[in-house]
Amino acid sequence: MKKLYEIAKENAKNAYVPYSEFAVSAVLELENGEIFKGVNVENASYGLSNCAERSALFSAYSNGIKKEDIKRIMVYTDHDYFVSPCGACRQVIRELMPDDASVIMADNQGNFKEVKNTDLLPFGFTKEDL
């Protein structure tokens, strides 16, 4: 967990946040230990911004990673409190990560809060609902 934390903390510097100045970093760890990173990227047209969690997941999928390859994701912010993934990210996490995958929230003090994917978005909408 310490390794993920250090990567997430360093990666936060890559966030493009000229409007909110609220950097978020996400580090996705695969079962084999491989890492995919993401940051939030804002846009003057706010609806076109992308969150760190989705950036990391979309990067992994773009590189051929599948749901069953993913172990966990850590979400880091440089604040002394936990920040949970937004609703859009919860929905994407729910579909693109295994049900029992860990979602870890990390603050700038090195504290962690860990939940399972299905606990983050109970009753999430999935392909089984179609």
Residue at 130 is within a domain: no
Give how many domains the chain has, as a whole number.
1
Answer whether residue 113 is part of any domain: yes
In a domain, 59, yes or no: yes
Strands in 112-116's sheet, in edge-to-edge order, are: 35-39, 24-30, 70-77, 102-106, 112-116
> Model-level pTM greater than 0.85?
yes
CATH code at 113?
3.40.140.10
pLDDT in tens, 37-59: 999 999 999 889 999 999 999 99
pLDDT higher than threshold 90 for residue 75? yes
Task: Judge whether 55 lies within some domain.
Answer: yes
Kindly name the residue from 10, 42, 53, 95 that is annotated as catalytic. 53
CA 95, CA 70: separation in Å to the nearest integer?
Answer: 12
Question: Is 53 marked active-site?
Answer: yes
Please report whether residue 115 resides in a domain.
Answer: yes
Question: Which residues constitute the domain of residue 47?
Answer: 2-124
